[in-house]
Structure 1
Amino acid sequence: MVMAFRKKPTSVIRTKASKPKTPTNWLHLIKPMLMFLCLLFAYVMYSNWSSWLALLDKTPIRAYALTHKTQFTTNSDIRDLLSKEPVLKGYFGQDIQEIKDKFLEIPWIKDVAVRKVYPDRISLTLVEHRPTAIWNQTRFVSAQGVVFDLPKERFNADGLPELYGPDSEAKKVLEAWYKIQKDLESRNLVLKSVAMDIRGSWTITLNNHVELRLGRGDWLPKIDRFVTIFPEIEIPDGKRLSYVDLRYEHGAAVGFISQ
């Protein structure tokens, strides 16, 4: 019987010189560089996007449209304002806030909304303050207590309440007007003006031009006192009642002027 033996293959030891070379994967080297270039390009585009868009503007904004009719602001006001520096740019390059800031310089403008309309127009919504009372004879105060200027020729102020005081207290004086007016109506008296000085002392004037000096504190008891003593005041001939000083705890002082 013949037996055959298979010889185990001997292991091959490869040296560094005998190892086959691995081909270089250039993609691993190029990919980070490509990502870096893409990020750099995106950063440059983001940083200068307004400049790139501005290059697309062929003409500056040259027309506007009002969304509703204004009471005090004229077309001439709007044109003059838009023509001021800085000059208007094109649709892409124009900053809306820049236009808003221009309109908010007008003292009677409360708020403004601006919308760009392609290719060369803007849409304007102007919100104006509404005069509720005359303030310190030369200005006006809104229902929100905001003091503002308005050319007198653009508004007929006849019949408006006359208020006086520091600008910072306009809202407080306006609220006092409504309260005092309501109190006087129940006494068949008509209020003409309300004034508050820097110390917080109140003076009111009735429609018959009689001035009531109320001082500080609650005015209701003082008005009641005036209603009580008014029929008893003796007015000299040729004179008329000018003021009633109710700042005393009891009673009052009166003053007269020539008619």
Structure 2
Amino acid sequence: MWDNHQALRSLANFLLLASLSMLVYAGGVWFVHSPWFPVKKIQIDGALKKVTPEQLKYIAEHELSGTFFTLDIDNTRAAFGKLPWVREAQVRRRWPDTLEIVVAEHEAMARWGENGLISTSGVWFDAASDAPLPVFFGPAGSEQEMSAMLGQLRQALAPSGLKPVVLNLSARRAWRVELDNGVKLELGRSDVLMRTERFAGHWKDTLAGLGYRIDTVDMRYPNGFAARMPDYKAPPAHIGATR
């Protein structure tokens, strides 16, 4: 081999190419990790109503690390996603020293009992609000179902002028709804919307004119309903005179 000049030339070229490749690789690693390329600007966009500048500043100062090239985009996105009202955070680099972050917030539709909120997309998230929101009580995993039912109940109750404020879904999938006037509806497990519409059709012309406070209306009867009125007292039975 040592007498084969062609083979020696090929080996020398290979070694030279390998050396150059290693130098390029080492230079690239140094370049990427060089402190000469820090992230100097963080630009945050989005229609923010609940997320505060202080929260965003805290994340930027305590959760983000690395240079413009080494900063982990997925970890950065997850760090901003930890904030209670953040639904989604999009992160991208902009040469030479800027990190652009677009934040989208949750929009609360209801409360989940005493623990967290439900967004307009039917997703539970851990946040607090002082807004007057409907309240859900239901089995774990029923958030989407209850969110859809809220919209359907609002539509079904529209003729009555009443609104649902508390939705209860039992483990047996039976519905109980409290309205904004304090009346509770027992709607059962089937024909829930039909029963609600039947109540709405009778409210103004029949139930609202009874003159007594109505606590509960049971709509589970096939062709009617029963109203519970705690203040109602039946008139005394008439006893005819005897001679």
1:157 aligns with 2:136: no
TM-score (norm 1): 0.71
Aligned amino acid, residue 131 of structure 2: A
State the superposition RMSD in angstroms: 3.4
In structure 2, the CA distance between the partners of 1:56 and 1:167, relative to structure 1 (3 Å rule), is: same
Counterpart for residue 104 of structure 2:
127
Corresponding letter in the other structure for 2:9:
I
Displacement of 1:204 in angstroms is: 1.4
Partner of 1:107: 84
Provide Cα deviations, 1:54-111, integer angstroms capped at 9, x if missing partner. 34322643431123441111111011112225x5222122222221111112232121
1:34 matched residue in structure 2: 13
* Residues 44 and 174 of structure 1: CA distance in aligned 2, closer, same or farther (over 3 Å): farther
For residues 188 and 103 of structure 1, the distance between their equivalents in structure 2, rounded to whole angstroms, comes to 44
**Identity between Structure 1 and Structure 2 (%):** 23
Shift of residue 115, structure 1, vs aligned partner: 2.1
Q: How does 1:88-99 map to 2 (within 5 A)?
A: 88-99=65-76
- Structure 2 gaps, min length 5: 232-243
- Between 140-149 and 188-197, report the one with greater CA deviation: 188-197
| Residues 11-41 of structure 1, C-alpha deviations (whole Å, 9 max, x = no match) | xxxxxxxxxxxx9442323314533663576
Equivalent runs, 1:10-159 vs 2, <5 Å: 24-32=3-11, 34-35=13-14, 38=17, 42=21, 51-58=29-36, 60-85=38-63, 87-152=64-129, 157-158=131-132
Asked if the contact 1:161/1:192 (under 8 Å) is kept, the reply is: yes
User: What's the TM-score once normalised by structure 2's chain length?
Assistant: 0.75
Do the aligned residues in 1 keep the contact of 2:174 with 2:189 (CA within 8 Å)?
A: yes
Query: Number of aligned pairs?
Result: 227
Aligned residue in 2 for 1:188: 160
Q: State the partner residue of 1:178.
A: 151
Separation in 1, partners of 2:65, 2:3: 58
**Which residue identity is paired with 1:206?**
L
In 2, Cα distance between the equivalents of 1:101 and 1:45? 33
